[in-house]
Structure 1
Amino acid sequence: MTDRMRKWVRRLLWLIIIGIIAFLGYSWAESQPALSPVKTVPKQLFGQTKIYSQNDRQQIASKISAQDQSAKGLTKQGFVAIPKLSILLPIYDNAYSAVALNVGANTAQKGTPVPTMGQGNYTLAAHNWDNGYTAFSALQQKLNQNAPYYESGQAGSSSWLNGQSIYLANGDGVFTYQITGQVGVDENDGSVLNPDDRDDDKAKITIITCLFPDTTKRIITNAKFMKFESWADASNDEVGYFDTKKQKINLVP
């Protein structure tokens, strides 16, 4: 082998090593909790707000309400976004279908009409993949640890997300909720699905996802309704949370 060939081989090996390190670094960063500096700092540095025209807003509204799973017998209700946790998911209407849960979050009513955004108790469920970043995984405070939701066989609670915003959106506009707390419940606890439940006498959202490692338990995230704004009146930030050209849908690992 000539000196020139050896030089090219060394360069190629270095490029491969750098590529492997970059890939491992990216994979590690993706696996970090949603509120870690690794994920929040880049958003603060590079998250410039886009100015959305009325035409932009109409296009986003049409896209998030488009019926894209009709062939599977599912009706899209809209989207859910929790920006601080990098959560953005479409919402369908059957949390008791594996097919439905594989394509998004789903309303979790049982024996009652599909809930309405901004009214009553809007129950919503999606997978926890136990990785801190896909579907509703980021709602668990500590990866693969039952506490604080269950400790020594007793149900517990967490306030780590209190005050954070949850946004629902459909063809009409954006509904803002504020998280008021999380609790652990047994998988068979149907009381969380009560359509008449309220939070501080306001309409609410109840988000249900599995707990890890004890998957017989559930994490319940409660949030109270704060306001509704049409697409024309919503802030540019709020519209941007549902811009799927800019934001990543975090459905599966």
Structure 2
Amino acid sequence: MSERLRKILHRFFGLLTIFFAVLLCYQWVSGQPATSWFKTAPKKVLTQKPGTYSKKQRQEIADAVSREDQKGLGLNKQGYVAMPKLSILMPIYDNAFSKVALDKGANTSQDKGQAVPVMGQGNYTLAAHNWDNGYTGFSALQEKLKQNAPYEDAAGHLGTSSWLNGEYIYLANKNGIYRYKIVGQSTVDQDDGTVLSPDERINNKAKLTIVTCLFPDTTKRIITSAEYTDYHSWDKAKSAEVALFDLKKQKTNVLP
């Protein structure tokens, strides 16, 4: 073997080794939880250290949260949803069965003929896109990107996840801020509407149900369930919670 050929082969196998090392690294990072620093470090995280808000500032935030901004599309604003743990902040409208509405944010997901759910009452059902990127829409609610597990195993058996248990989700409208605590995640088929029942409760308390797609098996839905804990009007809410909805400072994560 000539010296030239030996050098060419050496470089080729060196590049091949680097390629497979990068590929394995990418696959490992993709399999990490959405909250890992590999995914969240470059993203803007919701701040909860705002100082204080005056009564006037609180009212301005309440007005911004409830301001109708999609009437031209026939959408009614319900308020906003925030989850600091996952940097989720999106407006809420009232039609989860409309692609146009889902491109604008989260939407209430009531069955046809049912009344639009009310924050802090009954089963408040929400839906938004999972863009399979760990950040936009409700993507971050999936424990591991590009993996059906633990929501579905290789045999197609549906599973659950407790990785977000104890974390808080906040809803806000013109009246104030409603807090819910996550109690678990489950999985259902895409046509299973039982999770939308307005009569569902957790420990006889009001409930929040969030529906989003599973990836890569998009025929399944991840159901995140949270128990209602408390409510505070804008003038009584903690500054750290008011800050979550300060739209002059915070960035929404609706679209990629």
TM-score range, shorter chain: 0.7 to 0.9
Aligned equivalents of 1:115 and 1:52: distance in 2? 30
Deviations 1:98-143 (A, max 9, x none): 1100101000001200000000000000000000000100000000
Q: Which residue of 2 aligns with 1:84?
A: 85
Conserved in 2, the CA contact under 8 Å of 1:34 and 1:86? no
Q: Which has the higher contact order (CA 8 A, sep 6+)?
A: 2
Aligned equivalents of 1:81 and 1:40: distance in 2? 19
Cα offset for 1:47? 5.8
Does residue 146 (structure 1) correspond to residue 148 (structure 2)? The answer is yes
- Match runs of 1:69-218 below 5 Å: 69-110=70-111, 111-151=113-153, 152-218=155-221
Conserved in 1, the CA contact under 8 Å of 2:48 and 2:240? no
Q: Which residue of 2 aligns with 1:60?
A: 61
Cα offset for 1:41? 11
Aligned equivalents of 1:67 and 1:98: distance in 2? 19
SS where residue 250 of structure 2 aligns?
A: coil
SS where residue 80 of structure 1 aligns?
A: strand
Deviations 1:230-252 (A, max 9, x none): 00000011000111122110010
Conserved in 2, the CA contact under 8 Å of 1:96 and 1:108? yes
Runs of at least 5 residues in structure 2 that lack an aligned partner in the other structure: 1-28
Identical pairs, percent: 60
Aligned equivalents of 1:116 and 1:202: distance in 2? 14
Aligned equivalents of 1:123 and 1:40: distance in 2? 30
Q: TM-score, normalised by structure 1?
A: 0.84
Give the letter aligned to residue 100 of structure 1. Answer: A
Aligned equivalents of 2:251 and 2:167: distance in 1? 19
* Root mean square deviation, CA, Å: 2.0
Aligned equivalents of 1:226 and 1:156: distance in 2? 26
Give the letter aligned to residue 235 of structure 1. Answer: K
Cα offset for 1:40? 7.0
Task: Tell me the number of residue pairs that the alignment of Structure 1 and Structure 2 aligns.
Answer: 222
